[in-house]
Amino acid sequence: MDPERKRRLVKPLQKHVLNPPMRFLASIGRGPSTHALLETRGRKTGKLRTTPVGNGLEAGTNRFWIVSEHGRHSGYVRNIEADPRVRVKVGRRWRTGTAHILPDDDPLERQRSMPQGNARAVRQMGTDLLTVRIDLDPEARD
């Protein structure tokens, strides 16, 4: 299927059907462990935007990986281009960090090294896979 046509079909399904319940569950800390919330600042409005993403927290590091289904056609990717400071909520904890878009990274290979929660859905629904790395700020100690 033509990528533009596929994007026009998939994006409304994600925006209005799939993402709202996942966003709600993740916001109250009840979403599946395979998912997380990404918070970006809207590039036009400046409002905070949350998007459910796969849980790409790399164990033992301060890195979080995302493979965007629609690359630079994704609103959150365009928001990151305008302001790379983001927050990620995994479970019940928010972490701040700086996002980097990696056009030269192999997103399919990257997915193989990530938790497999939504990798298949990303490949099936995706039109232009793109890797995003978030360098998380060190956690504050109590």
Residue ranges and CATH numbers for the domains of the chain are 3-136 (2.30.110.10)
Q: Say yes or no to pLDDT of 9 above 80.
A: no
Average pLDDT over residues 125-141: 86
Alpha carbon dihedral 10, 110, 72, 102, in 10-degree steps, equals: 180
DSSP 3-state percent helix, strand, coil across the chain (nearest 5): 35, 30, 35
pLDDT at residue 66, as a whole number? 93
Model pLDDT for residues 59-88, shown as the tens digit of each residue:
889 999 999 988 899 999 999 999 999 999
> Are 32 and 18 contacting, i.e. CB atoms less than 8 angstroms apart?
no
Task: Count Cα atoms within 13 angstroms, Cβ side, for 46.
Answer: 0
> Residue 66 contacts by C-beta under 8 Å, 6 or more apart in sequence?
38, 53, 54, 56, 131, 132, 133, 134
pLDDT at residue 6, as a whole number? 73
Q: Say yes or no to pLDDT of 113 above 90.
A: no
Strands 48-54 and 63-68: unpaired
pLDDT at residue 116, as a whole number? 62
CA dist., res. 99 & res. 108, Å (int): 19
Model pLDDT for residues 37-57, shown as the tens digit of each residue:
999 999 999 999 999 998 999
